[in-house]
Amino acid sequence: EAEVVDDSISFISNVSNANAGAELLKVDSVLMQFGGLKALNNVDLSIKRGTIHGLIGPNGSGKSTMMNVLTGIYVPTAGNVLYAGQSVVGKTSSDIALSGIARTFQNVQLFGEMTAIQNILVGLHHTFKSNMVEIALNLPRYKREEAEAHARAMALLKFVGLDDLANEEARNLPYGKQRLLEIARALALDPELLLLDEPAAGLTAPDIKELLRIIRKIRDSGITFILIEHHMDVVMSVCDTVSVLDFGQKIAEGKPAEVQADEKVIHAYLGT
Ligand code: ADP
Ligand code: MG
């Protein structure tokens, strides 16, 4: 049995608060075209380290497309994305993930028949240095790495309050807990930037409260967020800044309260 560590964030090691406030991600004039449709039309974003940046807008406005561009699932038709000063355009999704950008999906994408802890261990696999022979023969380095990964996976589960459910199959977890498990799996990548696509969708009010508590706890560890969200109360309570998309274009940006009161934003949402 792996020892369960305390509820600290010490296992998130990739982040330094030294550069808080500096630009971590820059989206520069990104165009994403699908045939004749401009899903993103000349969008700029600047995400500062240590902040929670909301990305909102009506259905079909381009929010998930932006997340897919940032994580290498789509290559933009034009424009650039700089993460920590380096372009991510043309890099594979797994290289981008290893460079420090982790995400969750609008629709939960867990391995349903695997247990909660196995889902996290998948996310931790990149930390293994053992080769195939060491793994096949269960040699000492692999055994040590496996034990470390197990302890870290338990710490991550504890961090999101799922340690009691470590051995449950993911598909049997209540929906709100599946969403938290996805967040824990993303944290297994030791990210600097965490992208959450509608994490509160389909959650009950108590689930949302728990989600907010965990988002704040992750933020306190120095991780930067881009949060796509439909629940305005979630956006209002945790975001430092918000950008609003409508038909692929950025129509407003600023503090949550300013954006919520913006005529263009109100009009965009009324139109749907
Ligand atoms: P949102 O997340 O804001 O609801 P999306 O980014 O999912 O919106 O979609 C923006 C637009 O781009 C929609 O019109 C959608 O149908 C279109 N779109 C997204 N992905 C693709 C794709 N792979 N091929 C064609 N159209 C797409
Ligand atoms: Mg979407």
> For each of the chain's 272 residues, which pLDDT tens digit applies?
444 444 445 555 556 556 777 999 999 999 999 999 999 999 999 999 999 999 999 999 999 999 999 999 999 999 999 999 999 999 999 999 999 999 998 888 899 999 999 999 988 877 788 888 998 999 999 999 999 999 999 999 999 999 999 999 999 999 999 999 999 999 999 999 999 999 999 999 999 999 999 999 999 999 999 999 988 889 999 999 999 999 999 999 999 999 999 999 989 987 75
- The pair of three-digit structure tokens given for residue 237, joined into one six-digit string: 């309570």
Reported residue count of the chain is: 272
Nearest alpha carbon to residue 106 among 198, 27, 192: 198
- Ligand 1 site, residue 57, Cβ cutoff 6 A: yes
- The bound ligand whose nearest atom lies closest to the alpha carbon of 245 is 1
Beta strands in 52-166 (DSSP E): 52-56, 78-83, 86-87, 101-103
Given the DSSP bridges, would you call strands 78-83 and 86-87 parallel, antiparallel or unpaired?
Answer: antiparallel
Q: How far apart are CA 135 and CA 128, in angstroms?
A: 10
Structural contact between residues 194 and 64, judged by C-beta atoms closer than 8 angstroms? no
ipTM of the prediction: 0.98
Nearest alpha carbon to residue 196 among 215, 173, 172, 175: 215
116-124 helix and 140-159 helix, angle to the nearest 10 degrees: 120
Residue 14's identity, in one-letter code, is: N
Query: What is the whole-number distance in angstroms between the Cα of residue 66 and the centre of ligand 1?
Result: 9
Nearest alpha carbon to residue 72 among 110, 43, 98, 37: 98
Nearest atom in ligand 1 to the alpha carbon of residue 74 is 23
The continuous run of DSSP H or E covering 23 comes out as strand 23-34
Give the global pTM.
Answer: 0.90
- Ligand 1 site, residue 60, Cβ cutoff 6 A: yes
Burial of 201 (0-12, 13-18, 19+ CB in 10 A): middle
Q: How far apart are CA 240 and CA 57, in angstroms?
A: 17
